[in-house]
Structure 1
Amino acid sequence: MAVYDLHHAFYEHHHFLLAFGVVLLAVVVNGCYELLFSPLRKYPGPRLAAVTYLLSAYHTAKGDHILWLQSLHRTYGDAVRFSPDELSFTSAQAWRDIYGHASGGRKSTEKDHRFFGPTPNGTPDIIRANAHDHSRFRRNFSHAFSDKALREQQPLIAQYADMLVAKLQESVQESPAAKVEMVRMYNLTTFDIMGDLTFGDPLNLLKGTGYMEWVGGIFASVKMLCLLRVSRYYSWLTAIMALVVPRSLREKARAHYKACKARVDWRVNQTLDKPDIWGLVMEQKESLQLSRDEMYSNSQLFMVAGTETTATALSGLTYQLLRHPEKMQKITQEIREAFKDEEIGMTRLAHLKYLNACIEEGLRVYPPVPVGAARRVPEGGMTVCGDFIPANISLSVHHWATYRSPENFRRPNEFVPERWTNDPEFANDNKAAFQPFSYGPRNCLGKNLAYHEMRIILAKVLYHFDLSLAPESVDWDKQKVFSLWEKKPLMVRLHPRV
């Protein structure tokens, strides 16, 4: 019996060693291939990153992926290999090659679904759609974001900017020494604007009577997708990430989708006389019509892209202005000399040079989406920055690393709005590398709306108040990133204009 047990133990141990040896051999062979024979071997980067996704996955889950990738670009240059099949670029040419219109008979790059993940209902939205459906979506939605539509929507946007000012005045009157959390106030404002523009029905968040949990669900849904992206590198990570991602995060993400779905169902049964986005969408000809599931998926996208990113840009710019009092004084003076309160409107704001320079610089030093939106090389391969790249490789231009690169911008880590005002010191800045709303046929459809919102909200606030930064928010910009910034409270003291 003892002999049998010994033989059996040896047999099992032998098979374990054999299995371990096979796995180890596969890892070694794969590593040798990636380092010595892969078509991406010429691209510099950490050797470990070339043979495993774990390094990139680790920094994604940790929330410091943008800083890690920035350090790689500093070390290795404007093209970096940061995983076995992922390349990051920081040049203006890369924007054109990766995201621009296809030419020379090649196919366009498609979105990398490993990066974006699925929508809550499994139906692609305009970001995740294939080329055919994207074109249909774009033609449908373009009317809702046209200059004509924006002019018609101007009173609505101004109305909510005025409500924000009234809410801030209320806070100051209650307690002159009180501090206001501006991230929250900007979020409520952009959420109210986008809710009304999208569904034609006020959400009443600034009034304090709306569904406040919806706001928290926005970032939660984005963070959850970012964390679950880690599991798309290796299937065996799926179970681990299911345990790591908090249940509260999943519940908030589900609540966001359910709220959008309910609003769509309500809106399609209404006849309204104001120009909301969904009303214009439903007026389109039959060939462009959206299915109900497509309405659901795109509505939840609009409520993310049209709220969180604009509020982030406003928060980041407010912080930078507070950290640079001389810039704050200059922009405030320009706004107050240009207007009386009731005159503040989109057309004139678009011509205020320093205001618009500050907005551009704010988007550069604190881009609302600091990561790179990954694309897949199409069948047949393509040339990027002069080098051929085979099919199915993931490519991106990384906003944070690109905008902080000394190859693109002088004094890249400083907040200097003057670089956007034809100051000769910055004549050699490569402004073509700056694409905060992406580039090409799939760039952000809401770009003009976002600029209008940022101008009028910031102008209204600075027209009425002098601002000062509370001590606890001095290091506000030290934040983690999960596709979007995980923003901390921005505590500000408001002083009514004398």
Structure 2
Amino acid sequence: MVISYTVGLLPYLLAVAALIGLIFRLLAPLAKLPGPWYTALTSLVLNYHEFTHGRTLYIHRLHQKYGPVVRLAPNEVSFSTADAVKEIYMSGGSGYDKTEFYSLFTQFRTRTLFSTLPRADHSYMKRYMADRYANTSVMKPEVLDGVSSHAKDFLKKCLEGCAAVSYADIYIHLHCFALDGVTHQLFHPYGTHANRDEKDFRLAKEMSYHDSLKSNFALYYMPWASDVVHYFNPPKPAPLTNDYVLKSSAGSSPSPFSLLSKLQAQAKATSMPPHYVPAECKDHLAAGVDTTGDALCFLMYQLSQPTLESERIQGSLRKELMENPSTPFDRLPYLDAVVKEGLRCFPPIPMSMPRYVPQGGSTIEAHHIPGGTIVSCQVYTVHKDPGVFPQPLEFQPERWLDAQGEIERNRWFSAFGAGGRGCLGRHLAMAEMKLLLREVYSQCRTTVSDQMNSDMEMEDQIIASRPKGQCCKLVFEKVV
């Protein structure tokens, strides 16, 4: 009798519990923040956009409607100001601690610099490898000569493609270039030459096309169901990449400027985990291919548009390059403006980089945010604030040459992240982009092929963003 009575009450007890939970969420501090009503109750709408490659644009639309502070879920808030970037990512040197989201980026079951969560551990790891990516190291001839050689390989491959089939698919060849550039820095003399070696080309293809977004997000939200997730949506297969990294990481006598030489020396002097060296190298490899390759792809496609404005910009760039053939690439103002505008419009990592608010809470944009809340700033949205970047959707390199507003523009520019946990390879990436563009546009004019029918909209991946169609057909025409 008692059991029957209790079972009969169960639906009502569950309903009361649900109602109490609903009331608590509606009375929680975050419920008072701007945002759609449903975000105070559930994260399901946000999750839907994540799983369908649309998180970035969904959050951007919310900011356009609700302003610089938007509640995304019962325990998650997005901000879109430079002051919020400074607080979240730069306070205390490296900002707030990372969330478990970054655990998705372990390699060989080992945490790397990027996937290390506590700030103190990250600072220790960064200290012994940061010098390899310092601008003084990147600007050494042994680094720049290698990158320049790979830029020549890229242009040669594209011209051969145009001669054979009237166009070149720069999407894959730029990923090859990025692979060659980062492996030169990581492993020299064991780097790749993917634009002229078939084996290395297959490695670049393996790294450039697989879609692992759904699998990774499923693991993030349902780690207890990892076996089921892997069964229906296996993780990114990378046998060629793993084999290359493991063999190269074990190579003897790497070049003194390489990251491998520093990691091997550190491994001998300390008690590192067995797979730490290859894990760290693979992480840098993955970070350096898609980001640089996709950023260049979006930028060259923009420069090649059949509009008078794009033709003018490409002509101005070519004029500067042809008139200053011996000027170092970092002293060419228009080239720098083109690259920065490309990174503003098409940031290689446009999405939110989530962090935990410290215990005790913080004040961000005049709102008190409780400790443990997930907060972030989305670079895509920060870069499109019309008060800082007038006509933000237009590609205007000249905005970076205007002294008026220069300090504020640079304060809001965060294509490589911010603070102590920003992109370690930013100087290498800038050098790669500028050397590649100088090689191409000092000699050629590029236009969009009439056979180009692929979608060039930005498509979210787990952390980066790539052209949706993963193909970009351009025509290269020699002008000198």
Q: TM-score, normalised by structure 1?
A: 0.86
SS in 2 for 1:110: coil
Cα distance change of structure 1 residues 328 and 19 upon mapping to structure 2, 3 Å threshold: farther
Decide whether the 8 Å contact of 2:354 with 2:376 is kept in 1. Answer: yes
Decide whether the 8 Å contact of 2:178 with 2:289 is kept in 1. Answer: yes
Decide whether the 8 Å contact of 1:115 with 1:373 is kept in 2. Answer: no
Moved more, 440-449 or 204-213: 204-213
Decide whether the 8 Å contact of 1:468 with 1:494 is kept in 2. Answer: yes
Decide whether the 8 Å contact of 1:101 with 1:441 is kept in 2. Answer: no
Q: 1:113 aligns with which of 95, 100, 118?
A: 100
Decide whether the 8 Å contact of 2:175 with 2:208 is kept in 1. Answer: no
Q: Distance in 2 between matches of 1:374 and 1:432?
A: 20
Decide whether the 8 Å contact of 2:294 with 2:466 is kept in 1. Answer: no
Letter in structure 1 aligned against 2:313: K
Decide whether the 8 Å contact of 1:197 with 1:277 is kept in 2. Answer: yes
Q: Distance in 2 between matches of 1:111 and 1:80?
A: 20
Q: 2:288 aligns with which of 306, 313, 317?
A: 306
Deviation at 1:475, TM superposition (A): 7.1
SS in 2 for 1:480: strand
SS in 1 for 2:368: strand
Letter in structure 2 aligned against 1:383: T
**Structure 1 counterpart of 2:212:** 224
Deviation at 1:474, TM superposition (A): 7.0
Q: How does 1:329-368 map to 2 (within 5 A)?
A: 329-339=315-325, 343=326, 348-368=328-348
**Structure 2 counterpart of 1:396:** 376
| Residues 1:328 and 2:314 are matched in the alignment | yes
Cα distance change of structure 1 residues 256 and 11 upon mapping to structure 2, 3 Å threshold: farther
Decide whether the 8 Å contact of 2:347 with 2:380 is kept in 1. Answer: yes
SS in 1 for 2:304: helix
Cα distance change of structure 1 residues 18 and 485 upon mapping to structure 2, 3 Å threshold: farther
Q: Distance in 2 between matches of 1:278 and 1:186?
A: 24
Deviation at 1:169, TM superposition (A): 3.0
SS in 2 for 1:98: helix
**Structure 2 counterpart of 1:32:** 23
SS in 1 for 2:381: helix
Bigger Rg over Cα: 1
Q: Distance in 2 between matches of 1:465 and 1:211?
A: 26
Cα distance change of structure 1 residues 315 and 118 upon mapping to structure 2, 3 Å threshold: closer
Q: Distance in 2 between matches of 1:217 and 1:438?
A: 27
**Structure 2 counterpart of 1:405:** 385
Cα distance change of structure 1 residues 126 and 351 upon mapping to structure 2, 3 Å threshold: same
SS in 2 for 1:40: helix
Q: Distance in 1 between matches of 2:183 and 2:60?
A: 35
Q: TM-score, normalised by structure 2?
A: 0.89
Q: Distance in 1 between matches of 2:26 and 2:227?
A: 30
Q: 1:85 aligns with which of 69, 75, 78?
A: 75
Cα deviations across residues 41-86 of structure 1 (Å, max 9, x unaligned)? 2211122222112111100010011111011001111011101111
> Size of the alignment, in residue pairs?
468
**Structure 2 counterpart of 1:189:** 177
Q: 2:245 aligns with which of 237, 260, 265?
A: 260
Q: How does 1:212-291 map to 2 (within 5 A)?
A: 212-218=201-207, 223-224=211-212, 227-233=215-221, 241-242=229-230, 245=233, 247=234, 250-253=235-238, 256-265=241-250, 267=251, 270-273=252-255, 275-284=257-266, 290-291=272-273
Letter in structure 2 aligned against 1:138: K
SS in 1 for 2:31: coil
Deviation at 1:485, TM superposition (A): 1.9
| Residues 1:433 and 2:412 are matched in the alignment | yes
**Structure 2 counterpart of 1:67:** 57
Letter in structure 2 aligned against 1:198: L
Decide whether the 8 Å contact of 1:376 with 1:395 is kept in 2. Answer: yes
Deviation at 1:473, TM superposition (A): 4.0
Moved more, 120-129 or 288-297: 288-297
Letter in structure 1 aligned against 2:197: G
Cα distance change of structure 1 residues 30 and 472 upon mapping to structure 2, 3 Å threshold: farther
Cα distance change of structure 1 residues 411 and 171 upon mapping to structure 2, 3 Å threshold: same
Q: 1:465 aligns with which of 422, 440, 444?
A: 444
Moved more, 278-287 or 378-387: 278-287
SS in 2 for 1:28: helix
* Long gaps (5+) in structure 1: 1-6
Q: Distance in 2 between matches of 1:236 and 1:286?
A: 36
Decide whether the 8 Å contact of 1:409 with 1:429 is kept in 2. Answer: no
Q: How does 1:8-47 map to 2 (within 5 A)?
A: 15=7, 20-36=11-27, 38-47=28-37
Q: Distance in 2 between matches of 1:481 and 1:85?
A: 22
Q: Distance in 1 between matches of 2:225 and 2:19?
A: 21
Cα distance change of structure 1 residues 29 and 239 upon mapping to structure 2, 3 Å threshold: farther
Q: Distance in 2 between matches of 1:93 and 1:356?
A: 25
Q: Distance in 2 between matches of 1:272 and 1:484?
A: 30
Q: 1:454 aligns with which of 399, 415, 433?
A: 433
**Structure 2 counterpart of 1:4:** none
Q: Distance in 2 between matches of 1:217 and 1:21?
A: 54
Cα deviations across residues 273-318 of structure 1 (Å, max 9, x unaligned)? 4522211333459667744422122111111111110111111111
Deviation at 1:255, TM superposition (A): 5.2
- Percent of aligned positions with the same letter in both sequences? 22
| Residues 1:418 and 2:398 are matched in the alignment | yes
Moved more, 296-305 or 471-480: 471-480
Q: Distance in 2 between matches of 1:128 and 1:313?
A: 23
Q: Distance in 2 between matches of 1:241 and 1:284?
A: 37
Q: Distance in 2 between matches of 1:322 and 1:385?
A: 40
Q: 2:363 aligns with which of 383, 386, 394?
A: 383
Deviation at 1:237, TM superposition (A): 6.8
SS in 1 for 2:417: coil
Deviation at 1:415, TM superposition (A): 0.6
SS in 2 for 1:306: helix
Letter in structure 2 aligned against 1:406: P
Q: Distance in 1 between matches of 2:186 and 2:109?
A: 21
Q: Distance in 2 between matches of 1:321 and 1:382?
A: 43
**Structure 1 counterpart of 2:40:** 50
* Long gaps (5+) in structure 2: none
Deviation at 1:490, TM superposition (A): 0.7
Cα distance change of structure 1 residues 142 and 120 upon mapping to structure 2, 3 Å threshold: closer
Deviation at 1:236, TM superposition (A): 7.5
Deviation at 1:430, TM superposition (A): 4.2
**Structure 1 counterpart of 2:199:** 210
Q: Distance in 1 between matches of 2:232 and 2:13?
A: 30
Cα distance change of structure 1 residues 300 and 158 upon mapping to structure 2, 3 Å threshold: same
Cα distance change of structure 1 residues 289 and 50 upon mapping to structure 2, 3 Å threshold: same
Cα deviations across residues 212-249 of structure 1 (Å, max 9, x unaligned)? 4433443567x52664324533567757744552x3xx
**Structure 1 counterpart of 2:84:** 94
**Structure 2 counterpart of 1:125:** 112
